[in-house]
Amino acid sequence: MIRFSIVGLMDMQKCYDHLVEILHPNGLGCPKCDRPVAQSKVHRRDRAPVLYYRCHCGCIYNAFAGTMWKHTRHSCSVIVRILQGFAQGIPTLHLARELGIDRKHLLERRHEIQALAAAACDRNPLPDQVVEVDEMYQNAGEKGILHPDPEDPPRRRANQARGHGTWDMDRPPILGIMGRESGRVQLIVKHNSARADLEPTVLDVTQPGCTINTDEWGAYNHLSEQQRRHVTVCHAPSRREWARDDDGDGIREVHTNTSEGFWTGLRNFLRPFRGVSKVYLQQYIAIHEWAHNLKEVTLGFLRILCGVTQMAS
Ligand SMILES: [Zn+2]
């Protein structure tokens, strides 16, 4: 992709104002004594529009004080672009080149921000009376993790294992629970695809009495004993083969209507990252979950990404 940065064309004051709105739900103020900014004097203007204030209490601060961006040297438009890039799944190398910043530093920032997004995912039961449950298997090794044993280097080629993968074979299942009525999804990385791994999570995120559509995978066979109505999508014998993952690419040409398109979307989201470590897989798919459920970025989501816990009263 050709490099074409527009951060130099973005309105710096508007980016600053937006960041203040994100980072300070109750208004900018002194991080030490909480006095509002109106009771501070401007101390320095050389980094405008980021102003340094001196509070009555003697504290000198700016809008980034006490936030995850406190030590940043990035301009406000670069920070806004970073948030946009992470929320939209732009690969780190691509963003780093566009912005002329260090890739490793940006990757650390991405992991910090995505972890916040993952921790804030809604894990309350979906409100739906009809849900689809399915798993996808994602090749995910230990990219980016220092390997302690040089005699056992991490695999370099894609994992060729077929069918139901596991965490230990670097092909963990991603459990997807999708509400037919709400359109909401929850995505959870599991270690294995056995009943003991999948069923408790399915029960946690669905309502008693709801109908659960799954394929014929045996891990779901006991849902009907757990206050759920279990419907198995039975393929006609002639289509049985077609529904399997015989080519080993992880796409099981599926069974349930919603999940079919959804997994394609998730694969398309993950592909540009060219191999996500299984250790970070949950936080990458959390970004996709948020995007699917929100459709459009909100102030609340941007506050989650920036670790802002204090909410406007
Ligand atoms: Zn103060």
pLDDT in tens, 31-78: 999 999 999 999 999 999 999 999 999 999 999 999 999 999 999 999
Q: Are 254 and 263 in contact (CB under 8 A)?
A: yes
Q: Are 130 and 213 in contact (CB under 8 A)?
A: yes
Instruction: State in Å: Cα 248 to ligand 1 middle.
Output: 61
The pLDDT, as a whole number, for residue 155 is 54
Q: Which of 173-182, 183-192, 256-265 has the lowest mean pLDDT?
A: 256-265
The pLDDT, as a whole number, for residue 275 is 86
Instruction: State in Å: Cα 64 to ligand 1 middle.
Output: 15
pLDDT tops 80 at residue 297: yes
Which comes out higher in pLDDT, residue 238 or 145?
145
CA dist., res. 164 & res. 173, Å (int)? 7
Q: What is the pTM of this model?
A: 0.87
pLDDT tops 60 at residue 151: no
Classify domain 130-293 at the CATH class level: alpha beta
Instruction: State in Å: Cα 52 to ligand 1 middle.
Output: 13
pLDDT tops 80 at residue 147: no
Q: Which of 11-25, 60-74, 140-154 has the lowest mean pLDDT?
A: 140-154
- Helical spans, DSSP H, in the chain: 12-23, 76-87, 92-99, 103-119, 195-204, 237-240, 257-270, 278-294, 299-305
The pLDDT, as a whole number, for residue 141 is 80
CB atoms within 10 A of CB 111: 18
pLDDT tops 60 at residue 93: yes
The dihedral formed by the CA atoms of 17, 23, 24 and 29, expressed in degrees to the nearest 10:
-90
Instruction: State in Å: Cα 40 to ligand 1 middle.
Output: 8
Instruction: State in Å: Cα 67 to ligand 1 middle.
Output: 16
Q: Give start-end residues of each CATH 3.30.420.10 domain in the chain.
A: 130-293
The pLDDT, as a whole number, for residue 102 is 96
The model's pLDDT over 169-186, given as tens digits with 9 standing for 90+, comes to: 999 999 999 999 999 999
Letter for the amino acid at 124? N
**Tokens standing for 113?**
């921000």
Average of per-residue pLDDT across 273-290: 96
Instruction: State in Å: Cα 169 to ligand 1 middle.
Output: 54
DSSP-derived letter for residue 29 is: B
Share of the chain above pLDDT 70, in %: 84
Letter for the amino acid at 181? E
